[in-house]
Amino acid sequence: MKREKAKSILAVCVLSALVFLSACYETEDDLSITDSATSLMTTETSAIPTSNQSCSVIGEEFVLLRDDEAIADEYCEEIIDALENQDTDKLKSMFSTSALAEAENIDDGLAYVMDFFQGETTLIDGGCSTSESVDHGEKTIELNALYSVTTDKDEYLIFFIYDDVDTENPDNVGLYMLQIMKASEKEEQFDWVGKQYIAGIWQPDETA
């Protein structure tokens, strides 16, 4: 009886390891799970993450973790959609309540980027870095994202800071700042989170 139980536990462990590896390291060209391993599957696997999600295993349960790159991609696409459609209200609504209260001349900034960004997008490339903290049980997650955006008119860089989680101060959740510049002007206008770290929309000195 003990031997049969040990075999059962071993089978579950092997299965968990195989599914874990397939979930975390899946690629388009290199993935296989043997039929014999598949036939052993007795636990629910509907929550297995895709290849662009990170994961962890606690016991026999899979826990999906955040995919900050995908989250930042979605925010960038929303920003571009608002710019292309001249949707000032949509872009403004992406900013957090706190950022709108702190920003100077947010409406002027919105008008500036709507006029500055020209053309229809043909290529988007970029990503983000993540700052995460937990203090006395309260969690914050900030995304600092930089994207190269090519349109049929020009090539731009879009930099934004997005407070994606703030359990203590929900009014902080949303877009904090946005900067759009031509790619050719990166050296003069961009320094990651230096002078650009202001609430609202950053503009060059001559237009601010």
Residues whose CB falls within 8 Å of the CB of residue 119, separated by 6 or more in sequence, listed in order: 151, 152, 153, 154
Band the pLDDT of 196: cuts 50, 70, 90: low
At residue 181, the pLDDT reads: 92
Q: Would you report the helix, strand and coil content of the chain in percent, each value rounded to 5?
A: 40, 30, 35
Please tell me whether residue 79 adopts helix, strand or coil conformation.
helix
User: Which domains, from first to last, does the chain contain?
Assistant: 2-64 (no CATH), 68-201 (3.10.450.50)
Q: Choose the weakest-confidence range: 76-80, 131-135, 154-158, 194-198.
A: 194-198
Tokens read off for 63: 């826990």
Residue that is written with structure tokens 């237009």 in the block = 207
- Per-residue pLDDT reduced to its tens digit, 65-121: 779 999 999 999 999 999 999 999 999 999 999 999 999 999 999 999 999 999 999
Cα–Cα distance, 43 to 197 (Å, whole number): 48
Tell me the percentage of the chain whose pLDDT exceeds 90.
57
Nearest to 117 by CA among 150, 77, 95, 146: 150
Mean pLDDT of the chain: 76
Q: Are 146 and 159 in contact (CB under 8 A)?
A: yes
Query: How much is the pLDDT for 123?
Result: 95
Distance CA 197, CA 178 (A): 9
> Which residue blocks in the chain are alpha helix, DSSP H?
2-25, 35-39, 68-84, 88-93, 97-102, 106-116, 186-189
CA–CA distance, 76 with 69 (Å, rounded to integer): 10
Q: Could you tell me which residues come within 8 angstroms of residue 23 by beta carbon, excluding any fewer than 6 positions away? A: 48, 49, 55, 62
